[in-house]
Amino acid sequence: MRRLLVCLFTLALVSAACGDDGAQSTATTTTAVPETSTTTTAAPTTTAAPTTTTEAIPTLTAADLAAVGPYPVGVTTRELPTGNLVEIWYPAGPDAEGQTDTYSVRDFTPDVMRELVPEETNDRVTVEAGRDASIAEDGPHPLVLFSHGSTSFRFQSTNLSHHLASWGMVVASADHPSRALMNFLGGPEDPPSSVDDVLAMLELVTTDADLGPAIDADRVGVSGHSAGGGTTLAVAATGNFAGYVSYASGAFGDEPLPDMPSMFMAGEIDTIVEPGRTRDAFDRAPSPSWFIEYELTGHLAFSDLCAVGDGSATLIGLADAAGLGPLLNDGIRRLGTDGCEEPNRPVTEVWPGIHQATTGFFRYVFGEDAEPLGVDSPAVLEVTTDSK
């Protein structure tokens, strides 16, 4: 049974390397400033600025966006008609203050593996959020749809989702059965596509009896990590969205990219989706668009998965805890931990820059700020900036 599980587990991890199906890029990677990140920026040329833009808050600075925002955060769970769950983080009322919410990675692994992991293994992620708390009354609030990567799950980027919610955005993330770990290990034979999941999630959240009235359905953005970056492009192409952010991903085929504001982020030493592939997608995107590459950063830095528990509870860490470690070779370990180990910087050092740039981008396209704060030059990191 263990050998069978290892074979299936190996197949699942290998599939993560194919999470973005775009063609391999021959572009060279932009050189990063030592111990910093590199940003390439396209100034707006052919795409009009958001029509809802208001004056920027005079006292707000780019550096402020790297810190948690002014709202307490609430979190709740909903279910799509297909049965997959959706996690929703949102700016909350005072009843969310002082509360925390926790998820466990083992809950998203097969039963046979979960039973082998010792109870004392710390595989939990905790954020300051009130479960089913009231939503802030000063809406309506903009909405960000998030799509997770291969062999992952809806909670994978909770720290990023929490950050955006603290700045007044509702963030929704659905489990994708088509590429969840469970599917690779014997899940549904014909799950819905990830694009269908995201579009169904948009309908679900905006018509929800409790959340819907507090959401501005005219201000919706899309985002995704790895394979979710490909989903992001496909979803953005279906409608009139405010803009999108693609993390550690690329572009599929030769189809034109959606004509709306965009941002592409990459890790300099990502070996699963090489940064050149992300740069190629940026090069094809209409203006305005931004490309940010973080030095000494790998694939999983855009998720929670390198900072679970005490830092050892990645999927590979859980396999070790279950006694399956000796059967996993070095290649499989690399695929399951890219971004988590040296020479990668600790992901908690990279997150402030990711949070700041993402927050600044969405605040800009949602009309909260007249200029995209923290996008051209994240204050928490030294950057170089070039225009297209």
Residue 240 burial class via C-beta count within 10 angstroms: exposed 0-12, middle 13-18, buried 19 and up = exposed
Cα 12 versus chain centre, distance: 20
CA distance 202 to 315: 29
Q: 3-class DSSP state for residue 281?
A: helix
Q: Which of 217, 218, 248 is nearest to 232 (CA)?
A: 248
**pLDDT confidence band for 309 (50 / 70 / 90):** confident
Match 């952010």 to its residue by tokens: 245
φ, ψ for residue 145, nearest 5 deg: -95, 135
* Residue with more model confidence, 203 or 36: 203
Looking at 52-61, 121-130, 226-235, 326-335, which range is the least confident one?
Answer: 52-61
Closest CA to 145 of 104, 101, 195: 195
Give me Rg for the CA atoms of the chain.
Answer: 20
pTM of the model: 0.83
Domains of the chain: 2-20+27-386 (3.40.50.1820)
pLDDT tens sequence across 179-234: 866 555 544 455 568 999 999 999 999 999 999 999 999 999 999 999 999 999 99
DSSP classification of residue 65: G
Looking at every residue in the chain, the average pLDDT score rounds to 81
